[in-house]
Amino acid sequence: MDLFEHQAKEIFAEYGVPVPQGRIAYTPAEARAAAEAFAAAGQPRVVIKAQVKAGGRGKAGGVRLASGPDEAEAVASQILGMDIKGHTVHKVLVEEASDIAQEYYLSFLVDRSGRTFLSICSVQGGMEIEEVAHVSPEAVARVPIDPLAGVDLAKATEIVTAGSLPAEAIPGAAALAERLWAVFTGKDAILVEVNPMILTTDGQVRALDGKVTLDDNAAFRQDLAQYADPEAADPIEARAKEKHLNYVKLEGQVGIIGNGAGLVMSTLDVVAYAGEEFGGVRPANFLDIGGGASAEVMANGLEIVLSDPSVRSVLVNVFGGITSCDAVANGIVSAIGMLEGRGEQVRHPIVVRLDGNNAAEGRRILDAAEIPVVEQVGTMDDAARRAAELAAAATTGA
């Protein structure tokens, strides 16, 4: 789960990572009030920062300086409602302006190849670290972190020294890094990034920006719900989540239901390949109903997939491994029964491919049920092709 900058900075402040003073504003009037409060405290210059979970805010005009409350209000009214890379700006962070002497980069993240954690630090901050690494790789230090030893002040000093930070920034940057590690472990983060970490003209080191990604798997010991972002969530994804379904909305016409993340991902690919022959029909979603595939889960899955108005056909692709296919077939039959019982007539064609354990019995059950919208196809490739073909036919027909 990605956090907004202001949420990241609230966590930073809680853990003792120095950040500029800031207030969140949802309206231009609130932005003005925030700027007035800073002005009253002798800090009239503020920065108005669009709060969206996307990079490149500055280039898009989403980060601007204001000299006082009037300008803050005007700037906020321009930034609020802006679209930045498909994200609508619903709130801005009004922050005291910092006097920047230098900009650095610092992060902690998961190092998949090393099966451990990594700190990245560079004296060149304020731009994309990938770009810095590309242009001047010698300026980017990658320091592995032993998860058991963690990061104390000595390790933190090693990190910022490896990043070639100047002597005057070392003590402040090391202290910041030690606290940032506390955020990383304390919040079960998989990424904490400060870009830029700045040295102010009066010698302070601060986090001028903050990016935090939390581990969804840690929900049992972290309060992740407080960071939920209902405004941004796709409404179908939100309803799927309520039903504990692993659903991702995509842009396409063929609804996909399968079991197992890898098989469903693969199904999306095979449908997209087949769709190339039918005018560019594409998968409408990712939905993994997991190993069990009970009738109720299947019914909920079908309901969610069919509630997507762009869906023209559905492909159910199940491999019976632990579950046998007769149970899955019964699940599909009762799922359609349950939907029709709720008054939701199923109109779109449903292509079903069952394979694996007890597949013959599963196919017999589906045949015997004689559901008009259900069509069985023997292999995954052929089923994908048929589902794409039906979606294309329905799209042109409509």
Q: Which residues bind other proteins (CB under 8 A)?
A: 110, 112-113, 115-117, 130, 146-148, 185, 188, 190, 215-218, 220-221, 246, 248, 250, 258-266, 268-270, 272-273, 282-283, 286, 288, 291, 319, 321-322, 355-357, 379-381
- Minimum Å gap between C-beta 47 and other proteins is 26
Pairing relation of β-strands 189-200 and 211-214?
antiparallel
Closer Cβ to other proteins, 32 or 155, answer by number: 155
Closer Cβ to other proteins, 146 or 367, answer by number: 146
Contacts of 283 by beta carbon, 8 Å cutoff, 6+ apart: 250, 252, 254, 256, 267, 268, 271, 272, 275
Tokens of 388: 């794409």
| Angle made by CA atoms 30, 45, 103, in degrees to the nearest 5 | 115
Tokens of 42: 């002798």
Closer Cβ to other proteins, 23 or 249, answer by number: 249
104 carries an active-site annotation: no
- Minimum Å gap between C-beta 244 and other proteins is 12
Distance CA 183, CA 108 (A): 10
Distance CA 233, CA 305 (A): 16
- Minimum Å gap between C-beta 5 and other proteins is 17
Residue 65 pairs with which residues in a beta bridge? 47
Distance CA 191, CA 186 (A): 12
The catalytically annotated residue of 5, 73, 105, 389 is 105
Closer Cβ to other proteins, 144 or 341, answer by number: 144
Contacts of 304 by beta carbon, 8 Å cutoff, 6+ apart: 236, 239, 240, 243, 245, 247, 287
- Minimum Å gap between C-beta 263 and other proteins is 4
- Minimum Å gap between C-beta 231 and other proteins is 17
193 carries an active-site annotation: yes
The catalytically annotated residue of 5, 73, 193, 389 is 193
- Minimum Å gap between C-beta 250 and other proteins is 7
Closer Cβ to other proteins, 191 or 371, answer by number: 191
Closer Cβ to other proteins, 217 or 396, answer by number: 217
Tokens of 251: 């842009």
Closer Cβ to other proteins, 98 or 267, answer by number: 267
Distance CA 118, CA 162 (A): 13
- Minimum Å gap between C-beta 9 and other proteins is 22
What is the three-class DSSP state of 237? helix
| Angle made by CA atoms 21, 27, 31, in degrees to the nearest 5 | 30
Question: Residue 260 carries which side chain, given as an amino acid letter?
Answer: G
First to last CA, the chain: 38
Burial class (CB in 10 A: 0-12, 13-18, 19+), 239: middle
3-class SS shares of the chain: helix, strand, coil, % to 5: 40, 25, 35
- Distances in Å between the alpha carbon of 157 and those of 91, 151, 162, 259? 36, 9, 8, 48
Active site amino acids = 105, 193
